[in-house]
Amino acid sequence: MVRVRFAPSPTGLLHVGALRTALYNDLFARHHNGKTILRIEDTDRTRFVEGAEQDFIDMCEWAGIKFDEGPTIGGEYGPYRQSERTDLYRQHAELLIERETAYYAFDTAEEIDAMRTRQKAAGIAPKYDRSSMRNQFTLGAEETARLLAEGAEHTVRLFVPLVGETRTTDMVRGESVFANRLIDDQILLKSDGFPTYHLANIVDDHHMNITHVIRGEEWLPSLPKHIIMYEAFGWDPPQFAHLPLILNKDRKKFSKRDGDVSVVDFIEKGYMPEALVNFCALLGWNPSADREIYTYEEMTEAFEIAKVNKSGAIFDYEKLDWMNGMYLRSVPVERIVVDLLPMLKERGQEPSEAYAAAVVTLVRERINFTHEIPDFADYLFGEITEVDEAYREKHWKGETPERVAELAVRLDDLAPVDWTDARIEEVVRGYAEELGVGAGKLIHPIRLTTTGKKVGAGMFETMTVLGQQKTVARMKSFGESQ
């Protein structure tokens, strides 16, 4: 059975890149009828942010990602917070020491710094120098035992052989070979007794029976180390898939400098979950060259790691906005109304739900966000507050006032049941024909007098929603006010 995990560290609010990782894990698991596990990797206490875990849970729920096991759900393999499993990691560090694939090191931070400075001066890549530092090998068994008994501060490091090579396989990138002499003796247990990410991650993936590790490309350099650790434990590694970097328009890593990157920021900006999820899913994967819009079910059905790209994916805000518009147009109108009513209330406008729904239906083809509606359709929720001057100059001259006045009378004469797009159109076009002018000669002045704006939804539909009384009244009073 496929078992994947989303393993974020609670160091801040959920980043959209992390949302993509969670999403790919979930799509992969669902595609294979497997399970998605949420594991909180909170062993780095210096970077711990209160509330981050709850944010991860809330944001994933908002996005429709459902975990089968996790800190607040439970499950067979918990606990799911690494800080609650530290004994397990310590036991495993000891196991490696017994097998002589890990060792004690007693170097202070200053000694490590001095080593780095020496290496830098000599032009050597930074790497723990087992032969010159203060560790089990250089100090000998007796001194090591004495220091441990004395409670001396120490770390436990992975023993990486100096010879040979390590082969890694990645489902996205294929095979790679690394010379062992270039791989660092990774710290497994820190001096505070907490495991590093590397130890905890591997022990957990093994004990939680994780079959596939799907994570960001930034972890790719750690893969050879991880493979050495699996060998050291004598465990079969899971399969790995490293997802391409997310880049900004300048092809640099998409980061805080590019603006808001937390999922909650996107929610606050009015993005709909379906849009953000669809957009994030296509950051590095698309099952088809000529399609962009997919439901969660369709993505689940189509998801294949083999189709994930190697090259970085550009975070294109324009595309995201367009996608939001696509979803704004396809979800039930009521969903938009629920968000819209409080926005209007803040402006002192309290239309009925039915009226708000009619406005949404009318204007949503032309906007991308719900929060654009109060301004875009202000004349439908309140009176006209401003008239586009250039538009007025162009369309309010000569015979226009007279024609609008006549049209107002004719429209007023329509029976209330006839106040429909079709009947209004008939009246307007009929009058244009009588005059021997194009319908535009009437439609622009109507738009001007009833909305004050050059841009809006279809004029006849707008009039229908605005209602007979208001439409006629505005057409009349505009003329009078000029």
- Which spans of this chain sit near ligand GLU (rule: CB under 6 A)? 7-9, 41, 197, 201, 215, 219
Contact indicator for 159, 103 with CB cutoff of 8 Å: yes
What's CA 175's distance to the chain center, in Å?
29
Give 446's Cβ-side CA count (13 Å radius). 31
44 vs 425 by CB, closer to ligand GLU: 44
Q: 444, 463, 462: which is closest to 454 by C-alpha?
A: 444
Could you tell me the smallest distance in angstroms from the CB atom of residue 83 to ligand GLU? 13
Work out the widest C-alpha separation in the chain, in whole angstroms: 110
- Spatial CB neighbours of 304, under 8 Å, sequence gap ≥ 6: 31, 287
291: left (phi over 0), alpha (psi -120 to 50) or beta: beta
The C-alpha atoms of residue 365 and residue 361 are separated, in whole angstroms, by 8
8 vs 445 by CB, closer to ligand GLU: 8
Could you tell me the smallest distance in angstroms from the CB atom of residue 65 to ligand GLU? 15
239 vs 361 by CB, closer to ligand GLU: 239
Query: Known catalytic residue: 253?
Result: no
251: left (phi over 0), alpha (psi -120 to 50) or beta: left
What's CA 352's distance to the chain center, in Å?
34
284 vs 456 by CB, closer to ligand GLU: 284
37 vs 358 by CB, closer to ligand GLU: 37
99 vs 207 by CB, closer to ligand GLU: 207
146 vs 256 by CB, closer to ligand GLU: 256
Could you tell me the smallest distance in angstroms from the CB atom of residue 197 to ligand GLU? 6
Q: Pull the structure tokens for residue 455.
A: 């841009």
Could you tell me the smallest distance in angstroms from the CB atom of residue 264 to ligand GLU? 17
Contact indicator for 176, 168 with CB cutoff of 8 Å: yes
At residue 253, φ and ψ (nearest 5 deg) are -55, 130
15 vs 364 by CB, closer to ligand GLU: 15
Dump strand ranges (E) for 128-171.
Answer: 155-158, 165-170
Could you tell me the smallest distance in angstroms from the CB atom of residue 13 to ligand GLU? 13
Could you tell me the smallest distance in angstroms from the CB atom of residue 178 to ligand GLU? 18
Contact indicator for 236, 209 with CB cutoff of 8 Å: no
User: Would the CA dihedral through 394, 399, 402, 407 be positive or negative?
Assistant: negative
42 vs 378 by CB, closer to ligand GLU: 42
The one catalytic residue among 66, 120, 249, 256: 256
Could you tell me the smallest distance in angstroms from the CB atom of residue 156 to ligand GLU? 20
Q: Tell me how long the chain is.
A: 482
Q: 408, 428, 424, 375: which is closest to 478 by C-alpha?
A: 408
Residues 269-293 as b/e (b if ≥16 CB within 10 A, e otherwise) read: ebbbbbbbbbbbbbbbbbeeeeeee
- Spatial CB neighbours of 448, under 8 Å, sequence gap ≥ 6: 387, 388, 391, 392, 395, 396, 478
Contact indicator for 16, 279 with CB cutoff of 8 Å: no
Could you tell me the smallest distance in angstroms from the CB atom of residue 84 to ligand GLU? 15
The C-alpha atoms of residue 206 and residue 237 are separated, in whole angstroms, by 8
What type of residue sits at position 204? D
Could you tell me the smallest distance in angstroms from the CB atom of residue 223 to ligand GLU? 10
Per DSSP, helices labelled H in 32-108 are 52-63, 86-98
**Residues carrying an active site annotation:** 256
